[in-house]
């Protein structure tokens, strides 16, 4: 197990979840009676991290209510300006943190302890500035595609809205789980430019920035694409319920 004082987890739980109706905070949507945020938190707590920070925004009271009594800190993203801006909101409480910062999406509840552990190990052993999780899926629609050069090194992540028809055929997707070296993270986040299409600051753009600064980027591809399911639609919700039932059966 990783030493307690060396890890900080940041959970992004500020967005609206328009495709799930947008009336409630998406990350507190219940899957088989338990809020999806709780699945993720249970996994994170196994690492005994020195800090868990939850970025809240839309319907933040619903998150506070579900996580009442949990040992977490909150920061608020007052304007929903994308994932890059969301992580930047943690600067005040993390600027003196020396260690690795793991960023996850609150709507991706099934990332396993083993996968996070593998990601951290690759990151530390490879002395990487950023190590992120990828997945190979049959239908990559809606996800950011991982762009690689001829030597198979990561050169960027392109979001669906900005991808060319050729890039949309790439089956390797960004699963939205990152391990960052705290050193230089916030100064790099400030270099992200607003996406002209979505008017948001994409966290994925930090890969391009790190690449231009010759900072080492590594990846780990999960053998179980289902653990990277993002709960965006009602059919995703159904799929998630089936996945939990199956996982429970297999112990």
Query: What integer is the mean pLDDT of 179-198?
Result: 94
Residue of 225, 231, 204, 18 lying closest to 108 (CA atoms): 231
Which is higher by pLDDT, 34 or 55?
55
19-23: long-range contacts, CB 8 A cutoff, minimum separation 24: 19/232, 19/233, 20/231, 20/232, 20/233, 20/234, 20/237
Burial of 132 (0-12, 13-18, 19+ CB in 10 A): buried
Task: Write out pLDDT tens, residues 118-149.
Answer: 999 999 999 999 999 999 999 898 899 999 99
State mean pLDDT over 188-203: 93
Q: Taking CA 136 as the corner, what is the angle to CA 85 and CA 20, rounded to the nearest 5 degrees?
A: 50
What CA–CA distance (Å, rounded) separates 72 from 89?
Answer: 15
The answer to whether 71 touches 59, Cβ cutoff 8 Å, is no
Which residues make beta-bridge pairs with 218? 131
Is 220 a residue whose pLDDT tops 60? yes
Give the list of residues 6+ apart from residue 162 with CB closer than 8 angstroms, or none: 195, 197
At 226-250, the pLDDT tens digits run 898 888 788 888 888 888 888 777 7
Query: Which of the pair, 168 or 239, is modelled with greater confidence?
Result: 168
The architecture (CATH level 2) of 4-136+174-202+214-249 comes to Alpha-Beta Complex (3.90)
* For the chain, domain boundaries: 4-136+174-202+214-249
CA angle 160, 164, 166 (to 5 degrees): 110
User: Rounded to whole angstroms, how far apart are CA atoms 16 and 28?
Assistant: 11
| Angle, helix 36-45 to helix 113-125, in steps of 10 degrees | 50
Q: What is the pLDDT of residues 56-113, one digit of tens each?
A: 999 999 999 999 999 999 999 999 999 999 999 999 999 999 999 999 999 889 999 9
């Amino acid at each position: 197990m990783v030493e307690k004082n060396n890890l900080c987890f940041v959970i992004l739980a500020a967005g609206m979840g328009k495709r799930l109706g947008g009336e409630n905070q998406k990350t507190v949507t219940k899957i088989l009676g338990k809020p999806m945020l709780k699945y993720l938190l249970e996994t994170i707590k196994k690492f005994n991290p020195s800090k868990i920070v939850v970025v809240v925004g839309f319907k933040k009271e619903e998150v506070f209510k579900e996580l009442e009594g949990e040992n977490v800190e909150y920061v608020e993203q007052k304007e929903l300006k994308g994932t890059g801006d969301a992580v930047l909101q943690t600067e005040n409480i993390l600027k003196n943190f020396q260690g690795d910062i793991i960023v996850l999406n609150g709507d991706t509840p099934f990332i396993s302890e083993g996968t996070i552990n593998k990601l951290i190990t690759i990151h530390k052993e490879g002395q990487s500035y950023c190590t992120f999780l990828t997945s190979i899926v049959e239908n990559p629609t809606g996800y950011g595609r991982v762009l690689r050069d001829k030597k198979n090194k990561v050169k960027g992540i392109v979001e669906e809205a900005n991808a060319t028809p050729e890039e949309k055929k790439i089956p390797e997707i960004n699963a939205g789980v990152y391990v960052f070296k705290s050193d230089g993270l916030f100064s790099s986040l400030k270099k992200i430019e607003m996406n002209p299409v979505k008017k948001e600051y994409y966290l994925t753009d930090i890969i391009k920035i790190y690449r231009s600064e010759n900072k080492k980027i590594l990846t780990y591809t999960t053998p179980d694409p289902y653990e990277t399911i993002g709960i965006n639609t009602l059919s995703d919700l159904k799929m998630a319920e089936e996945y939990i039932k199956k996982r429970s059966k297999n112990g």
